[in-house]
Amino acid sequence: MIKVIKNGTVITMSSNREKIENIDIVIEDDKIIDIVSNYEGVYDEIIDATDKIVIPGLINSHTHLGMSYFRATNDNLSLQDWLNNKIWPIEDKMDEEDVYYGSLLSIIEMIKTGTTCSSDMYFFSEAAVKAIDESHVRCLFTRCLADINNDGDKRIEEFRNLYNKYKENELIKFSVAPHALYTCNLEYLKKCSKLAFELNLPVHMHYLENRQEIEDIKKMYKMKPLDVLKKSGLINNKLILAHCTFLDEDNLKAFKDKDISVVHNPISNLNLGCGIADITKYKNYVNVCLGTDSQGSGNNLNMLYHMSIVDLLQQGIHEDSTVLSSYDVLKMATINGAIALGLEKEIGSIDIGKKADIILLDMNDSLTSPSIDIITNLVHNAYNNVCMTMINGNILMKDKELLLNIDENELIKIINNRIKKLKS
| pTM for the full predicted model | 0.97
How does DSSP classify residue 208?
Answer: -
Average pLDDT score over the chain: 95
349 inside domain: no
On whether the CB atoms of residues 209 and 79 are closer than 8 A, the answer is yes
**46-105 pLDDT per residue, tens:** 999 999 999 999 999 999 999 999 898 888 888 888 888 888 888 889 999 999 999 999
Domain residues for 10?
A: 2-56+356-402
Q: Within this chain, do residues 102 and 119 fall inside the same structural domain, yes or no?
A: yes
On whether the CB atoms of residues 385 and 368 are closer than 8 A, the answer is yes
Q: Within this chain, do residues 269 and 389 fall inside the same structural domain, yes or no?
A: no
Q: Give the residue-averaged pLDDT of 178-182.
A: 96
49 inside domain: yes
Q: Give the residue-averaged pLDDT of 166-193.
A: 97
With residues binned 3-state (H G I as helix, E B as strand, rest as coil), the percentages for the chain, rounded to 5, are 40, 25, 35
Q: Within this chain, do residues 237 and 367 fall inside the same structural domain, yes or no?
A: no
End of a domain among 316, 341, 366? 341
Residue 85 has what pLDDT? 84
**306-343 pLDDT per residue, tens:** 999 999 999 999 999 999 999 999 999 999 999 999 99
346 inside domain: no
Residue 86 has what pLDDT? 81
Q: Within this chain, do residues 385 and 268 fall inside the same structural domain, yes or no?
A: no
**217-243 pLDDT per residue, tens:** 999 999 999 999 999 999 999 999 999
411 inside domain: no
Q: Give the residue-averaged pLDDT of 356-378.
A: 95
Q: Within this chain, do residues 119 and 130 fall inside the same structural domain, yes or no?
A: yes
In the chain, how many H helices and how many E strands? Answer: 17, 19
413 inside domain: no
Question: Would you say residue 421 has pLDDT above 90?
Answer: no
Question: Would you say residue 110 has pLDDT above 80?
Answer: yes
**376-387 pLDDT per residue, tens:** 999 999 999 999
351 inside domain: no
* CA–CA separation, 251 and 257 (whole Å): 12
* CA–CA separation, 192 and 61 (whole Å): 20
**254-272 pLDDT per residue, tens:** 999 999 999 999 999 999 9
Q: Which residue has the higher pLDDT, 59 or 149?
A: 59
Q: Within this chain, do residues 187 and 313 fall inside the same structural domain, yes or no?
A: yes
Residue 33 has what pLDDT? 98
Q: What sign for the dihedral angle of Cα 67, 282, 80, 230?
A: positive
**114-126 pLDDT per residue, tens:** 999 999 999 889 9
Q: Within this chain, do residues 36 and 91 fall inside the same structural domain, yes or no?
A: no
408 inside domain: no
Q: Within this chain, do residues 174 and 284 fall inside the same structural domain, yes or no?
A: yes
3-class secondary-structure state, position 108: helix
* CA–CA separation, 86 and 295 (whole Å): 13
pLDDT band at 17 (very low <50, low <70, confident <90, very high): low
**Number of domains comprising the chain:** 2
Q: Residue 309 maps to which CATH number? A: 3.20.20.140
Q: Within this chain, do residues 127 and 10 fall inside the same structural domain, yes or no?
A: no
Percent share of the chain, pLDDT over 70 = 99
Q: Within this chain, do residues 52 and 159 fall inside the same structural domain, yes or no?
A: no
Question: Would you say residue 16 has pLDDT above 70?
Answer: no
DSSP notation for 272-302? TT-----HHHHTTTSEEEE----HHHHS---
Q: Residue 34 maps to which CATH number? A: 2.30.40.10
220 inside domain: yes
Residue 83 has what pLDDT? 87
Q: Within this chain, do residues 196 and 306 fall inside the same structural domain, yes or no?
A: yes
Residue 87 has what pLDDT? 86
Q: Comparing 12-26, 157-171, 399-413, which segment has the lowest mean pLDDT?
A: 12-26
Q: Within this chain, do residues 38 and 163 fall inside the same structural domain, yes or no?
A: no
